Amino acid sequence: MFNKILYTFLFSIVCFSSVRAQSNALDVIPPSLVPGLLALNGDLSTLKNPKYLTPSDLALDPEKKFIYVAMRQMKQVAQFDLATNRVVKKFLLPNEPTGVAVSKDGAMLYVTCASDRWPSGMVCEVSIGAGKVTRRIPAGHYARSPVLSRDGNTLYTCNWLGNDLSVIDLPGGVEKTRIKMVREPYAAAITSDGATLVVTNSLPEQKAIDTISLTGKVSLVNTSNNTVRAVIPVFPVGTHSLFGVCVSKDGKYAFVSHLVGRFTLPATTFAQGWIHSNNVAIIDIGAEKLLNDIMIDNSTQGFGNPWGMAQTEDEKYLCVLSAGSHTLTVYDYPKLIDFASKGNDLSHEFTALTSIKDTLKLSLKAPRSIAMVGNKAYIAGYFSDSIQVVTVSSINPDAGKLYSLGESKPLQGEHLGEFYFTDAYQCLQKWQSCFSCHPFGRPDALNWMLASESTRQRNAKSMLYSWWTPPTNWNGRRPHAGGADGSVRMGIYYELGLKPTEEVSVPIDSFLMYMKPVPSPYLVKGKLSEKAVRGKQIYERIGCDVCHPAPLYTDSAFYNAGVPDSLDATVNWNTPSLIEAWRTAPYSHSGRYDKIKEIIELRAHSLGASQLSEKEKDELVEFVNSL
């Protein structure tokens, strides 16, 4: 009896200990932790972030049985069966897929992954049979647009915000080398012989005061020795947002979609591409030069924000998507090359190509990616949840059908705002969208004379934190990003030419409010480098934080920082935030500096900074570039 009592006592204590243990665990990992963490990491769907499919890239398998669809917010790649036109399999990824390529034997996927939260890029090798990631290979900052070499042993990735190209040895699973690109390499395509990789640099790298040679560039990379063999400026002046590229089947030409910003003109009207036209550059790969530049737009309507492109397999047609106007423009390819080769500048020519092209309104929102199977174009819209299959057997293709990629969800909140931000339907005659001057909410690297400014050029500003650092504009003319007289509504009115509605403006407000910075490529494993830590000490010691105080690194006040400006020599300018300064060159209200160091060397801007040693200046620059 006594023993029974004793063992009961013993058992109770053990149970008590066990309960105590569990209680301690719940203190450390409360039930809120994992769901909260998953929601903030973009994994768990919540009312605010319902996780849209956001198809961002397509890749065809060698046997042409499947198309693989990178679905960013879902962190998935979907296998779309071309026989049944439905998704038959999905592959989970650790981060958002930015691009997808299929191995030569069709057994593996190579998926570039990166996101605004976690931009340090990687390539995930996915075994299609096993349905899992089998290897992770580090790549560069915000890796995207994976392209396989002809032998299938090398993978190239555009490290978009790292300004370089990764060359990855697939058998070894390591990055062999990096090749410096011009600025923000966004898309790449390889010639059919595998000898040349064509890479688009999406933004110009020059000072914005350069009105002679400021253009976006296309880099030609020799794959035999991984060197840049040519950098081709895409004229006319003001080209930017080079987001799409394809190479002709014969390997002779590369086609690069882009905008032409006519930034030397006051932005007072829209007609006939006065502010922006939407163009395609034709690069003669062998001659390493621009053959011609053609306008996609019609004289009375723009086809804003051109993106993905593809040639039909019979080589008869070239297809160009316009993500802002949600259209597909089809060119008679042989005639296009014929016209383009005659030597006439077609970059602002509306009539010459009318008879050899036509444009189809798609049922998708923001069509950005296209894969061609024979003469069938499979098209995905970034803000849609379907694939549209269009048969291109003439320049007037049939609209075809939509096939679901997964659960359909209505756009709402900031995601709806992001859509409107990219939507050329919010512009008179669809010439441009907010995204045209502010790609991804950041500046296009150009100076603009806005309609209500008339005579003065101002460097385009980033929208990041614009909601939280009023007033907006360099001269503070608009008191806030939101509100009746704020930048959103006035931007729609003056820069897009339409009367702003709350139905559109409020979601855009939300998009701007929620924008988050992308961690800088200058950070080391997410933290300041030792050099940047020293730079931070200098930043605080010499008082940079007086006008650029944390956490937003601006005091929102107005100063004349001594930037030479003969027309506005005495004007005070709104202090810009330094967050993401690493990606927002050129600097100052007039865009006359393409490096942070040039600014800090201005005596009138900061006497203390201008007197630093070269080493200290470099450390200060390292810190600013880390923000």
Partner 1 sequence: MRKKIFHDTLRCTAAVFSLAALTWASPITRMDLFDASDNHLLFITFDYNDKGDCIQRNVFSSDSTFMYSTTFTTSNGVKKEHSVDYLDNTIYNTNINAPSGGATAFTTVDQFGLSQFGAPLSWKKSTENTYDITQNGAKVCTQKYEYNADGDLTGITVMDKNGNKAWYAQIIHHNVAVRRGISEHGMNPMRFSVSRSAIKFYCTLSEAKFVSVELISPAGRRIESLVHGNLTKGKHSFSSSTRNLASGAYIVRVSIDGTFALTRKVIVQK
Residues that bind partner 1 (CB under 8 A): 2-3, 6-7, 9-10, 13-14, 17-22, 24-41, 43-49, 75, 91-95, 117-118, 120, 122, 131-133, 138, 413, 468, 513-514, 519, 523, 525-528, 550-551, 627
The DSSP letter of residue 428 is G
117/603 with CB nearer partner 1: 117
The DSSP letter of residue 424 is G
94/172 with CB nearer partner 1: 94
Q: Residue 426: name the closest of 514, 354, 359, 365 by CA.
A: 365
In the complex, least distance from residue 135 CB atom to partner 1, rounded to whole angstroms = 12
Q: Residue 369: name the closest of 360, 359, 361, 379 by CA.
A: 379
Is residue 424 within 8 Å of residue 430, measured between CB atoms? Answer: yes
In the complex, least distance from residue 470 CB atom to partner 1, rounded to whole angstroms = 13
44/561 with CB nearer partner 1: 44
State how far the Cα of 367 lies from the Cα of 15, in Å rounded to an integer: 61
41/396 with CB nearer partner 1: 41
The neighbour count for residue 90, using CB atoms within 10 Å, is 15
In the complex, least distance from residue 107 CB atom to partner 1, rounded to whole angstroms = 17
Rg (CA), the chain: 26
In the complex, least distance from residue 618 CB atom to partner 1, rounded to whole angstroms = 20
In the complex, least distance from residue 62 CB atom to partner 1, rounded to whole angstroms = 24
- Please give the distance of CA 73 from its chain centroid, rounded to a whole number: 15
How many Cα atoms occupy the beta-carbon half-sphere of 568 within 13 Å?
17
Sheet containing strand 357-361, strands side by side: 306-311, 317-322, 327-332, 357-361
Q: Residue 319: name the closest of 395, 241, 402, 239 by CA.
A: 395
Which amino acid, one-letter code, is at 424? A
In the complex, least distance from residue 626 CB atom to partner 1, rounded to whole angstroms = 9
97/233 with CB nearer partner 1: 97
45/226 with CB nearer partner 1: 45
- Distances in whole angstroms, Cα of residue 42 to Cα of each of 31, 75, 184, 331, 508: 18, 9, 25, 40, 20
State how far the Cα of 410 lies from the Cα of 427, in Å rounded to an integer: 23
117/401 with CB nearer partner 1: 117
In the complex, least distance from residue 374 CB atom to partner 1, rounded to whole angstroms = 33
Is residue 75 within 8 Å of residue 43, measured between CB atoms? Answer: yes
Is residue 198 within 8 Å of residue 283, measured between CB atoms? Answer: yes
1/567 with CB nearer partner 1: 1
* Rounded to 5°, angle at Cα 356 from 351 and 359: 85
E-assigned strands of 103-182?
A: 108-113, 120-127, 132-141, 143-148, 154-159, 164-169, 174-180
49/404 with CB nearer partner 1: 49
37/271 with CB nearer partner 1: 37
In the complex, least distance from residue 115 CB atom to partner 1, rounded to whole angstroms = 10
In the complex, least distance from residue 131 CB atom to partner 1, rounded to whole angstroms = 7
Q: Residue 363: name the closest of 347, 340, 345, 379 by CA.
A: 379
State how far the Cα of 176 lies from the Cα of 178, in Å rounded to an integer: 7
Can you tell me which residue has the tokens 């010639």?
191
Provide the 3-class DSSP secondary structure of residue 168. Answer: strand
In the complex, least distance from residue 42 CB atom to partner 1, rounded to whole angstroms = 10
In the complex, least distance from residue 564 CB atom to partner 1, rounded to whole angstroms = 32
69/281 with CB nearer partner 1: 69
Q: Residue 463: name the closest of 590, 579, 304 by CA.
A: 579
State how far the Cα of 124 lies from the Cα of 114, in Å rounded to an integer: 11
In the complex, least distance from residue 127 CB atom to partner 1, rounded to whole angstroms = 11
253/421 with CB nearer partner 1: 421
The neighbour count for residue 144, using CB atoms within 10 Å, is 25
State how far the Cα of 285 lies from the Cα of 366, in Å rounded to an integer: 29
10/607 with CB nearer partner 1: 10
184/509 with CB nearer partner 1: 509
In the complex, least distance from residue 574 CB atom to partner 1, rounded to whole angstroms = 19
Which strand (E) or helix (H) includes residue 573?
strand 573-574
In the complex, least distance from residue 229 CB atom to partner 1, rounded to whole angstroms = 33
In the complex, least distance from residue 487 CB atom to partner 1, rounded to whole angstroms = 17
Is residue 347 within 8 Å of residue 280, measured between CB atoms? Answer: no
403/468 with CB nearer partner 1: 468
The DSSP letter of residue 500 is -
92/373 with CB nearer partner 1: 92
* 3-state DSSP of 442-472: CCCCCEEECCCCCCCCEECCCCCCHHHCCCE
454 burial class (0-12, 13-18, 19+ CB within 10 angstroms)? Answer: exposed
In the complex, least distance from residue 382 CB atom to partner 1, rounded to whole angstroms = 22
